[in-house]
Amino acid sequence: MFFLLVAACMLTLALSTTPLWAQGVAQQQVDLSSVFNVAGIYTDGTSPINGGLDGGGAAYSSIAMAATAPPTSGSITGAAPSYPTLSLPQSPNTIIFNFGPTNALDAVSGCAPVGPNCTVSAAAGPITLPTGEFTVLELVGTGVQGGQTGTVTVGYTDGSSDTFSQGFSDWYSGGPYNIGESIALLMPYRLSGGSPDNRNFRVYNYTIAINATKTVQSLTLPNNRDIVILAATLVAIPGYATSPGTPSATTVSPGSSVTVPVTVTSEAGYSGTVTLNCTVSPAIATSGATAPGCSFSPAQVTVGVGAPGSSTLTFSPAASKTASGVKTRSNLFYAFWLPITGLALVGFGRDSGSARRKKLVGLLILGMLLAGIIATPACVTYTHLGNVGTPPGNYTIAITGVDANGLTQLGAGGIVTVAVQ
């Protein structure tokens, strides 16, 4: 039959995921052949070597894989594609995986190829990766002997690396599924000693976001015999990164400004126009205070592969405005005080002796009280504070960008801190 004739062919699996980008996607399939140590895919009637995929003589059926369409919206639908290619209807986000030959060592587990059951645990790798900037590492594989957890390490050409912890569900028992894990194929049987085991078995897809601002160099797969990887593909979702240069000053007085050069670079093959934005924190909540200004010149930059865009950020704290004048009511004070004093003197002239002195003292006290009550508002200085400008303190400016298709920047973007005196 046709299936048997192509047993040594490369099997290609195409998976469709939710679109994450607005322009073309570059892919590089990873060659795992240097670390193949597990026989994972076999034709029906053939017993797997080296313990098979699970170390106990079981493996995936290439015929079952070819007869099963990948899931769509969580269910198995659609016509089965032709072997050796499995694919969904073409879309801009189809991911292609290349598998090793059937009936041979064609998968990777964290073990050395020692003995028939591959029982010696060792990390698989490092595996040389295609050079380039990529945003996502896609894996196809499974856990066996129950759900498993392992680490995947991606090394970069600058000597740094990222290590990711990933859960791998069992190929039979399945979920609850792990973060970044989805079913790639749900097949009606597997091979056990060459014969069909008529239960549902799964192949999983794992999506791991990697650092798109660095160039990948190597891949190290989990140090766990019960995690099996069948294929890997690097996906470049084009994007851009914003980064600030050195500010013209780290402190600034209200009414002055600080400038910061900003560079926008292409990542993973991006080209387009980016509109820059800035956000200042903390926010100004004080009544009468003014938030500092923040702007770019130019506000839009054109970015291409090997052609970064440049702009200048200007941070401008506001100065306070001159306070209004002082108003007093001293004239009004004297206008009331003089008649009262006059009344007191008149009373002094009409009376005599101690009675007259007592009355004079009483009138003086009364006059002083009345004058104080009337004159008190006039003696207060009324000053309108107006706009007090930007309060002193440390301010953080976050730089972000968005392109014409709504594609946001890769990474957190640029952060600048300036102290307002």
The pLDDT of residue 282 is above 60: yes
Cα–Cα distance between 141 and 35 in angstroms, integer?
A: 15
The DSSP code sequence of 139-167 is EEEEE-SS-EEEEEEEEETTS-EEEEEEE
Whether the pLDDT of residue 353 is over 60: the answer is no
Residues ≥6 apart with Cβ < 8 Å to 170: 142, 143, 144, 145, 146, 147, 148
How high does pLDDT run on average in the chain? 77
pLDDT surpassing 50 at residue 327: no
Q: How far is CA 263 from the centre of its chain?
A: 19
Domain locations in the chain as residue ranges: 2-237, 240-322+388-420, 330-379
Q: Which two tokens stand for residue 373?
A: 């009550």
pLDDT of residue 344: 45
Distance CA 82, CA 63 (A): 10
Q: 115 vs 418, which has greater pLDDT?
A: 418
Please tell me the number of Cα atoms within 13 Å of 418 on its side-chain side: 29
Contacts 24+ apart (CB under 8 A), 76-81: 76/186
pLDDT given at position 170: 96
169: β partners: none
Q: Please, which pLDDT band fits residue 354 given cuts at 50, 70 and 90?
A: low
Give the amino acid at 151: T
Give the whole-angstrom CA distance, residue 152 versus residue 229: 11
Residue 271, number of CB atoms within 10 A of its CB: 15
Given a cut of 60, whether residue 11 has pLDDT beyond it is no
What residue has token string 């979920």?
175
The predicted pLDDT at position 362 comes to 61
Structure tokens at 87: 């694919």
Answer whether residue 216 shows pLDDT above 50: yes
Tell me the average pLDDT across 318-331: 57
Residue corresponding to tokens 């592969």: 305
* Cβ 107 vs Cβ 100: under 8 Å: yes
Residue 14's pLDDT is what?
Answer: 54
Tally the residues of the chain.
Answer: 421
pLDDT digits (tens, 9 = 90+) for 237-259: 778 888 899 999 999 999 999 99
Q: How far apart are CA 211 and CA 303, in angstroms?
A: 19
Q: How far apart are CA 234 and CA 137, in angstroms?
A: 5
Answer for the pair 38, 107: CB distance below 8 angstroms, yes or no: yes
* pTM of the shown model: 0.62
pLDDT surpasses 60 at 49: yes
Whether 68 shows a pLDDT value over 90: the answer reads: no
Q: Alpha helix (H) ranges present in 8-150?
A: 62-66
State how far the Cα of 15 lies from the Cα of 98, in Å rounded to an integer. 12
**45 or 411, higher pLDDT:** 45
Q: What is the reported pLDDT for 237?
A: 75
Strand order in the sheet with 161-168: 124-133, 215-221, 148-156, 161-168
What per-residue confidence (pLDDT) applies to 212? 83
Concatenate the DSSP letters of all residues of 238-263 into one string.
Answer: -EEEEEE---S-SEE-TT--EEEEEE
d(CA 97, CA 290): 56
Residue 328, Cβ density class (10 Å: 0-12 exposed, 13-18 middle, ≥19 buried): middle
Model confidence band, residue 372 (pLDDT cutoffs 50, 70, 90): low
CATH number of 240-322+388-420: 2.60.40.2310
